[in-house]
Every structure is written in C-alpha cells, then in structure tokens.
Chains A and B, each alone.
Chain A
Amino acid sequence: MVTTKDLEAHFEFECRACEKGQCRKADVNVILSERKGLKEFYEAFKEHIRECKRMTYGQYQFVIDREVLPEAVLWWHNHPEFKETHLSTAVGTDERPLNGQFVYMPFLNVQVEFANEPENYYVFLRAYLPADDPSFPSVAQKLPAALWIEREVKDLLGFNPVGHPDPRRLILPEDWPEGLYPLRKDMDYRHSPMAEPKVEFKEKPEGTTLVPMGPAHMGIEEPAHFRLFVKGETIVDVDYRGFYSHRGIEKTGEGRLTYNQVLFLAERICGICGYQHSVSYAMAVERLADVEIPDRARYIRTLLLELERIHNHLLWVGIAAHLVGYDTGFMHAWRIREPVMWLVERLTGNRKQYGMNIVGGVRRDILDYRKEEILKVVKQIREETKKFLDIALNTNTFIKRAEGVGILPYKVAKAYSVLGPTARASGRRIDTRKDQAVKTATAYNEVDFKVPVYKEGDVLARVLVRMDELFESLWIVEQLIDQMPGGDIMVPIGDLPEYEEALGFTEAHRGEVVHYVMTGEKNKVYRWKVRAPTYNNLPAVPEMLKGYHVADAPLIIASIDPCYSCTERVQFVDIETGKVKVLTEAEFNELSIKYKGVF
C-alpha cells in the first residue's frame, strides 16, 4: 500500500520551476528514463520531437511535428508491449494570443502493466499548427478512435484533418455557417449566425429503409439520432447524429468563471456522474497548483465516488431491464438504489450533484455517527442486490434478450478506444482507478478491489461486469469507512500559476473521465477540455448495432450506458475574456425567442 508520504517522493515538480511550457533546465534524459517506453519513442521520432517534458507526475508531453502525428499516435496505440494503451482524446487549443499558433494535442493512456500505478502514464503529443493553415494529417483514417475527435476540432476550431474518411459536421448544428469556429478565441459570443441548413447523412444502402431512432424516442433517454437502415427488423447500417444538447460548458468555463466556479459547472456536466467530473477537474487543478490535499478529503471523495458508482450501476441495470420490458426488474433495481440516494443526500446535501468538492478538498465532513449508517446501507444493498440478481439472471426472457446481442469484439473495442465496463466486457483489462496515478485526489491506492473482466462482449457481459463492479464498490466503501483517517478536509489554494497544464482523471462507472485544464491569467481557465467516457464509447455503437434487430437497438445503445449530456458539453456561446455580461431574464427570453431553433 502506498501512503501519501510515499507520494511525496514522486511528486517532483521540477518543470514548474522551468520557463513556461519549456523544459530547457530539466534533464531530458532523466525524464525519459522515468517510464518505460518514453526513450524508445524518443529514439523512434528523434528528428520530429522538438521538446519533451513532464507536465506533472505521470504525465509526459512531447512537442512533435504535425507531419508525424498519425505515426506517433499509432506508435503508442499499437505498441507491442503496452497492449491496453488507448487514445484518450485530443485537445485543440487556440493559442494564437500566446504564440500565434494553434495546438492540436492527442493524448494516450499508456498502460505499461495492468494495475501498476507508478509505471503507467499519460503521454501528450503536442503539435503546433500555423495560424494560417491549421491542418494536420488525419489519424482517423488509420484509427477509428480519432474519428469524432478530429471532426470535433474541425467543427469548433476550424482545423483541417487531411484525409479524414468522414469529414461531416459532428457538433455544430446544421444551420451554422461555414468558416465560423466557436472555440477560437476571437469568436464574438454575441454573433449567433444562421445559414441555410445543410444536412449531411450517410447514403442509404440499397434495398433498405429508414428507421430514425431519436432524437425523441422512448428507448433513448436523451436526444440522440440513430439512423437505422433496416431490412425489415435487421439493422444493416447505422448513422449517428448527436450533439443536440450543447450547453457551452467548456466555453463558459474558459470565459468568465474562476477556477472554483468552474468546479461547480463541471459537476453539472452530467446528471448522474457529476461527482466524477468534479473530482477530475479538482484533480487537474490541484496538480497544476501543486498542492496535496488532506487524506481525509481523499477518502471522502473516494467514498462518494464509489457510492455514486453503486447507485449508477443499479440505475443502469434498471434501465436495461426497462428497455426489454422487464419492468419489475426496473422497479426493484431502483428501489434497491434508493437508500444510496438517501445516504448520499444525508452525507452531502443532495441526491445527485453533491456540491461536495472544492479545489483543495471537500466541503462537508463525514460525521462519525453516519459511518454506521453507511455500513448498514451497504450491507442492505449487498443483500438485496444479490437477491435481485438471483431473480433477474434467472428470468429466462431477460437473459434471452441480453445474451449474444450487441457483440463488440476486442479488436473493435480497442480500435475505437472503448472505455469502462463496455471495454471490460469485451476483454480489455483497463481501469483508470488502478492503472493511473489517481492517488493525488482519491484513495484508491489504499484499498483493495478487483477489476472484473469478461470476454464475451455482449450485453449480458456488460450487465455482469457492472454487477461485479457493484459488489467491489461495496467492498471498497466498507474498507474506506474502516480506514478513514482524521484531520482536515481541505487546504486553501491561493492563486494559480499561469499557463500551466495538467490532466485530471477518474474512472467513472462508464469509463475513464478526463479533464484537461490549462490555466490562464487571473485564476481563470484558458482551456478546459472535458472528455466523458461516452465520447469514446458511442462511436463504437454503430458497430455493435449492425446485424441485430431494431428491437435490440435500445438495449444495445443503452448497454454502453450512454450519457449524451456528458458527451455533448461543447457549445459556441462565447463570453469575451475578462469582460462579463450578465443576461437579464428579459434579455435572455428575447434571445431565446430570436434564436428559437438555433440552440
């Protein structure tokens, strides 16, 4: 077990002392020898690497030429030893106010060894793109995981992924004019233009007809549009159009809020995994600010994360049951879940969106008398869930619907960088809680748990992975209560360093949540990039759907536990940096009438 004291040894923020974004003082060779694979990569791409540095503990950055981006990404992704390495996501930044260039930065979660926290790391491949020609060779033509990422930067920042196989619009609405990029810093927020709608959809395969699933469909909880090209009941091909629920969160966070306010915004990215986002964001900022939060705060965070996982898995299994018409399973799953909600409400003050975090710790302490209560709830849930699973998994009709449906093979899962239980049900051994150094913000390194992995890759496997995880979470909660240290629950954080970057990450119940934060001036955030797990899982859904029934579609779509609001956080409403205009109610109404149908 690694204690926090051990952490200090690893926490050397030499780079902080260096010049901004540069690492001349730091010894490159020392950095490269810290982790396996770095040196190898450096040797392989020597001519193209401009800089290399350690951003923070376990996060390494190479500045490389844009020409070799695909090769570099694939080098890591297809590394023969690091099998479970995956492309986390990529960040596009408008750094023209700083250095006159755009930045495109894919980063990968490199798993040197499963559950070996000190060995694994994130690697960032930063490529500068000139302001007049922000193009780069597309990674997506070789790696489907990059499909959406590149379409997103194309939409929002106007980058040009050369050779992208599917360069349609992903995020912006159809009637948004060409050549206007909301996430660029010079975009004026008052400018909300409209143009003739231009709809691009896949061509219909011969002999099929169209079943539009969504945006408003009973089987899909949030707006998303799956175009199923069907032959009778059988799905032949699928097209996806999403991003109906943009809320301008990234842009808002970058614009007007201080780092502590962004935290609350981050929590509201998602209705049910809000705390994961909150912790990820807090972790990123804490890493930036180079503070170590108290042990008790780490424990409380972990406790709440796990409680959230418990109730979300129960919620999910309820929804899965509901989607196949097994309403009794649905009702019971949610009934079992209810005590957790009550518990969390008592611990934090809210059933969801706990508002518990603050950068540097947590806001409320877990009082001792409630520990007993937590243990009671955990015990009860364990018993009831066991009983529930006994019944549900013996319901023949339910199993018939889940078994052998929506199979996602390991290879496809890896190609799309699928995350979380979806990946683990396809045989991928990944779990950010064990793989990466989450110990700065949470206490996963001090508890014992297993990571269930199934190889079948169908919906039933996803159910089983989640249910196994649920029991592991209950065990984690018990350990945490047992080991809960005393002490403070937060440390104050002063001003943040300017133009520093770091990554925060947790394993949400859907997969790895990643928050990339780059600070600006005056305790503001210059670039905040959120990547929810659904963002990686959803592009793989069409692959899962093909060949199955229309009847299975809601279940298969739900089987990745999609969260569209997590995925679709980006929007174009900009607020001029440093200057805040608060809309009054009347103005807001006026605007919403004016742009009815635009947002």
Chain B
Amino acid sequence: MILEYAIGAFILGGLVGLIRDYKATVKASSFMAFLGSLALLWQVYYVYTNGPVTGSLFGIPVRIDNLSIVFLLIIGLVGVASSLFAINYMEMFENVGKGWVYAVAYNTFLASMALVVTVDSMEYFVMSWELMTLSSFILVFFSEKLRDVDASVKYYITMHFLDTIPLFLALGTAYSLVGSFDKLTFENIANAMANAPFHTKAVFGGLLMIAFMTKSGMIPFQFWVAETYRAAPTSVSAVMAGAMEKVALYGLIALIWRIVGTSYSLGLFVAVIGAITLTVGTLYALRETNAKRLLAYHSIGQMGYIWLGIGIGMALIPKGGFLAAVGALGAFAGLFHALNHAIFKASLFLSAGAVEYRTGTVDLDELGGLGKTMKVTALAALFASLAISGVPPFNGFLSKWLIYVSGYYSHSYVLALGAVLAAFISAATLASFVKFYGTQFGGKMKRYDVEEAPAGMLAGQWILAGLTLLIGVFPGTVTGILNVFNAPIDTNLYKIGFKSVFFSPVLFVIVLGILTFGLYLVFKPEYKEAKPWDCGSTQIDEDEYRINAEGYYIKYEEKIGSFYRLGDWFYSVGAGIIHYIVRAYLWMASYFTKIVDTPYTKVESLDDLREREIMHIDEEVFKPLIRFLNIARDVLPGIRLGTFIVIALIVVGAIVGLLIAM
C-alpha cells in the first residue's frame, strides 16, 4: 500500500527533527512532508484507477474507498503545496528555535489527517483524530507570542471539550453497541446502528455532530477558528483551513451519513447550519482587516457552503426520484466545493504567508502596493481570490453554481433560501477578496520596498493557483474522483451541467480570450506614465493617499451593525464560557499540583499564570511531569523547556490514547 510510503515519509520527516540546526531541520522535514503528500496523491491515483483498497497499516485496519480518496486528494494537494512553501517560509521563526518540534508536529499532523480519512476503525479514527488535534495545537503556539499562546490554549480547550469528549463518548456508544474493540470497523457499527433504537442513534449522531461541527467551525462552535488560524504559522494555517476542516466533513459523511443514516430533517439541519454559517462567517470576514483572520472567517463561511451542499444531498437523496438527483448534485457540489476550497483557501493562505515573509505583517490596513514588486504572488492571489469569489472561469464558480442549482431545484423554501443566501454571500466574498487583493497588491507604496518571494514559496502558491484555473476550465479532470454520490451530472471535457442547465468553461475561456485579445489588438493602448492624480495637491504622502482596509465597506457594515453586535454578544458569551472552563481546569490542576507540589498556588485565570511567568496552562496541568523533565533538562543541558512541554504533551497524548484504547 502506497499509504505506507506516505506515512513512512512523514515519520522520517519527524525523525529529521533530530538534526540540531534549525534551518536544516525545518527544510528537511518540510521536504519529507512534501514527499509524503506526493505519495498520498499517488495513492489517490492508484485507488482511482484500481478501485478501493483494504489492508492493514502497521496493524491498523485501513480501507481506502472512493470517499477517502477525495479527502486524500485534498490533504495531498494542500500538503504538497504547503510543505513546498514551508521549506522557505519556516525560516521566519528561526529566533523561536525548536526546529524539531515543528518537524515532529507538522509531519504528525499530516500523517494523522491521512490516517483519519483512511482508517477503518472507530477506535483508530478517534485516536488519529486526537493526534491531529494535539499536533495542530502544538503548531498553533509555535511562535510563542503571548497572543498566539492564548489562542492555542483556547483552541486546545475548545477541542478538548467539544471534540474529544463527544468523540470518546461516541466511541463508548459504538463500543456498547458492537461489544468489541477489534470489530469497531465502520461497517460493523453501521450494521449495529441499523438495529439500534432511535435514541441511541440520536445520541451517537448528536455527539458526532457536535464534534464535527466544532472541527469544521460551524455556528455556534466557530469561535476558535479566527484566532487559531491567525496564530498558527501561515503554512500550517493553510493546512488547517485547507485540509483539517475537510476531515470533519469526512467524518460527517463517513460516520454520520453512512453509519447513522440520514433523513430529510437531518439534511435540512445540516443545510440550515451550513447556510447560517456561511452567512455569519463571511459577513464577519467582511469587516476583518487582518489578512489571516479574514481568511479564517472565510474558511468558516466556505465550510458553510460545503455543509449546505452536503445538507441538500442528505435531505434530498432519501426522497428519491428527481429530488434524489438534485440531492446527489448538491452532495457532489459540496464535495467539489470542499476540494476547490482546499485549493484556493490554501493558496490564499500561502500568498498571505508570502506577504508576511517579506513584509512581516498581515495587517491589511498597513499593507499596500506589493503588486509592483511581488508580481507572481500577486497573480496567484488574484487567481485564488477570483476563484473564491466565484468568478468564472475559476473553479469556485462551478461548485458554487452547482450548489445554487441544487438549492433552487430542491422545491424547498428553506433550501432555496439557503441558495439565495449562498448567492448573496458570494457577493460578500467577492467584496472581502476585492479588499484582500486590492489592499495588499493594489497601488504603489514607498513603505514596502521588498523582493519577490523565494521560488519554493511561489511554487507552493502556484501549484494551487494553477489548479484553480485548471479545474475551472476542465472540471472533467476531477469530477470522476468527486462523483461519490453518482450525481447525474452531465460532464465532459468542455462542459459541466445538470439537466438543461450547463456551463462550458472551455468555450467561455476561448471566447473571452479571443474577445479580450482581439479588442486589445483593435484598441491597442499607447500610454505615457504619470503619477496618480491627487487633485494637484501641494504635498501629499502617497502612502496615505488611499482608503485603508477598515474603511472599504464601512457603510455596509454600519447597516448590518446590529448583526455584528449580536454576533459579538454571542462571542463574548462563548469567551466567558471558555474562560470558566479554563478556570475549572486550572482549579483542578492546582489541586493536582498541591498534591505533588507543596506550595499552594492560587491560579484562577491565564493572567495569573502569566504573572507567575508560567506561559502554558499545560505546565500547570502536567506539572509533575515537567518537574521530572526539569531534572532531566539539568542532566541533558542545551535542550529547552518548550521542547519538554512538547514531549510531555505527546507522551501524555499517547498515554491517554493508549489508556482509552485498552
């Protein structure tokens, strides 16, 4: 099985961390991750041509079917691009050090995602899921800035509460149904579930739903997303937004839809959640001025699209007949959008990363005029921006359009309204990406006199940016892989359509190209260069002669201000809850500490920890271990504290996993 090579590459990448030199570590490990991701793509191709594969990977039961490869494709593509990008990008964190932490965590992250979508056992699913959460948590606080650490803690605790606990409970439910850990394959659970009473189904499904909603950042569990993606190194954010969220989608389809089964109301629920999320997420993104937070909110919003599509599928497929076809189209569109979203969102994150690499900031209020110097990055960002805004002939248009089509054809007011919201939000997406592109690359500013990003980073961006156009023009290249639900889409190399509705991107591109070039030749422009017209002002700071990102849609934001206020209220409530959870954790930990460590410490909030120069609550949680490791550090000089925390975490994670598994 090719997956073994992939996992092997990832493990090797982790072991590369033993090299002490920071740069060598990150480069080598990123490269190994790149190779691993390539192997994943190979696996996809293999399965696509030869059919599903079942087997065992280091003793873990693995089944790679046509659904898995969609997600493997996503993980592979994003992994390839991000790893290539990270080779140069991770140099930025040289002052942080800890190259091997990155090496281990990043490779573990990719490997665990690959495992999540391939394992054929609930038990290992949950384990790899935990590994994924843990490794991504480590990557989030990698920069070790105060705010980033806060974000990572928030992320971790959210995941702990809303992801791990429900998943373990669901695992328990499954265990109680099947009765054996060995037989916890999805098929067995599905069979058991078919005969289970409704409330068992409801509990199992509900628990999983909470877990997956949290992971993919659905309303009302979206609060962790923005800060987490902002805090993580950009290449990691790209993987998180591009791949990790989709893994939750895999869970939704593989565990809920396939095991628990679906119904019209469940589908409606998913679709409604999707519709609400896409609205809320994107409208929040509209007012963001931090590039990474903006992208993060957009990944919430785009996940909403995907859930809407899948929801339409879940709702309509059971109905049969024409509606089933529409439902299959919706589900197909959802998957298609998942792939597209992975591509363009990762690409956008990577271009934001490239900008950050050169300018050191992602604040859209500050940035400007980079299009002049970072031409290639700018074009990649433009492609990805147009793709996410759904401008034909890029890939985003096709999947969005199919979602609208399925929504409008659904004969359901709610789903149609969802499609209307989707179309509306498409405009909002366009708005925020006009802002995203315009503020970063438009104009000319003296402030940033920078060079183009290094070749590796450009390659990373362009693998994805090129795909946005390629898939957009030739959707036939991927529809084969994506058509898991056998949607009756009418597709060949030059067109894609459903019933009488179709779009032929190839023809469109040809006509557009001929017209544009023809018109260009007819009206061939001649010009003189001059500086922008500033009304003849005496002296003006050109860098300030613009509208900053904050001011772009201020009137619109004022108009929907009550919406934002409501959202902010919810957010503060959520933050309060998280705060109390943190307190509860610390309270428990302080007793734990009291037992081990004599001096009683009154720790109630994160700030208290900061005052005591303890950066991570995990230090509190795992204090005994840390004490042990502190001693070890004295024995092994030269290794830093942060390193030990990571080791501690991984060890604890492993122990917890093993304890539960046993």
Contact = CB atoms under 8 A, between A and B. Distances in A.
B59 interface: no
A210 B540 contact: yes
B535 A210 contact: no
Interface stretch (A21-29, A225-233, A257-265): A225-233
Given A204-B544, A208-B548, 4 more contacts: A207-B550, A211-B547, A216-B536, A230-B551
Interface in A211-236: 211-217, 223, 225, 227, 230-234
Q: How large is the interface on B (under 10, 10 to 19, 20 to 34, 35 or more residues)?
A: 20 to 34
Nearest to A220: B535
A209 interface: yes
Interface string B533-576: 01111111100111110111111000000000000000000000
A213 B538 contact: no
Contacts of A209: 544-548, 551
A232 B537 contact: no
Interface of B: 365, 534-541, 544-548, 550-555
A225 B551 contact: no
A210 B550 contact: no
A322 interface: no
Interface string A58-89: 00000000000000000000000000000000
A197 interface: yes
Contacts of B540: 210, 212
Given A204-B544, A210-B545, A212-B545, A199 B539 contact: yes
Given A199-B539, A212-B540, A216-B536, A232 B545 contact: no
A209 B443 CA distance: 14
A230 B551 CA distance: 8
Q: How large is the interface on A (under 10, 10 to 19, 20 to 34, 35 or more residues)?
A: 20 to 34
A208 B545 CA distance: 10
A455 interface: no
Contacts of B548: 207-209
B547 A214 contact: no
A199 B538 contact: yes
Contact of B537 (A197, A207, A215, A230): A215
B550 A231 contact: yes
Contacts of A233: 551, 554-555
Contacts of A212: 534-535, 537, 540, 545
A155 B397 CA distance: 62
Nearest to A212: B537
B484 to A, nearest CB: 45
Contacts of A210: 540-541, 544-546
Contact of B552 (A201, A207, A208, A232): A232
A221 to B, nearest CB: 14
- Count chain B CB atoms within 10 A of each CB in A227, A231, A232, A241 and give the residue with the most: A232
Nearest to A210: B544
Given A204-B544, A207-B365, A210-B540, A232 B535 contact: no
Top 9 A-B pairs, shortest CB-CB distance? A232-B551, A232-B554, A212-B537, A199-B539, A216-B536, A210-B544, A215-B536, A217-B535, A231-B551
Contacts of B546: 209-210
Given A209-B546, A209-B548, A212-B540, A231 B535 contact: no
A472 interface: no
A41 to B, nearest CB: 43
- Count chain B CB atoms within 10 A of each CB in A197, A204, A214, A233 and give the residue with the most: A233
Contact of A232 (B536, B544, B553): B553
A232 to B, nearest CB: 3
Contact of B554 (A213, A223, A234, A241): A234
Given A207-B365, A210-B541, A215 B535 contact: yes
Contacts of A231: 550-551, 554
A212 B542 CA distance: 11
A145 to B, nearest CB: 26
Nearest to B533: A216
Nearest to B365: A207
Contacts of A234: 551, 554
- Count chain A CB atoms within 10 A of each CB in B538, B544, B548 and give the residue with the most: B538
Given A204-B544, A209-B545, A214 B551 contact: no
A95 interface: no
A545 to B, nearest CB: 16
Interface string A195-209: 001010100100111
Interface string A493-532: 0000000000000000000000000000000000000000
B547 A230 contact: yes
A174 interface: yes
Contacts of A215: 535-537
A209 B364 CA distance: 13
Contacts of B545: 209-210, 212
B541 A232 contact: no
Contacts of A241: 538
- Count chain A CB atoms within 10 A of each CB in B539, B546, B552, B553 and give the residue with the most: B539
Contacts of B539: 174, 197, 199, 201
B64 to A, nearest CB: 51
Contacts of A197: 538-539
Contacts of B547: 209, 211, 230, 232
Contacts of B555: 232-233
A84 B536 CA distance: 39
A174 B551 contact: no
B553 to A, nearest CB: 7
Contacts of A174: 538-539
Nearest to B544: A210
A211 B535 CA distance: 10
A199 B535 CA distance: 17
A174 B365 CA distance: 31
Nearest to A216: B536
B438 to A, nearest CB: 13
Contacts of B365: 207
Nearest to A214: B535
A91 to B, nearest CB: 29
Contacts of B538: 174, 197, 199, 225, 241
21 contacts: A174-B538, A197-B539, A199-B539, A201-B539, A204-B544, A207-B550, A209-B547, A209-B548, A209-B551, A210-B540, A210-B541, A210-B546, A215-B535, A215-B537, A225-B537, A227-B537, A230-B547, A231-B551, A232-B547, A232-B555, A234-B551
Contacts of B541: 210
Given A199-B539, A204-B544, A209-B544, A232 B550 contact: yes
Contacts of B550: 207, 231-232
A465 B103 CA distance: 76
Nearest to A199: B539
Contacts of B537: 212, 214-215, 225, 227
A170 to B, nearest CB: 14
Contacts of A208: 548
A575 to B, nearest CB: 28
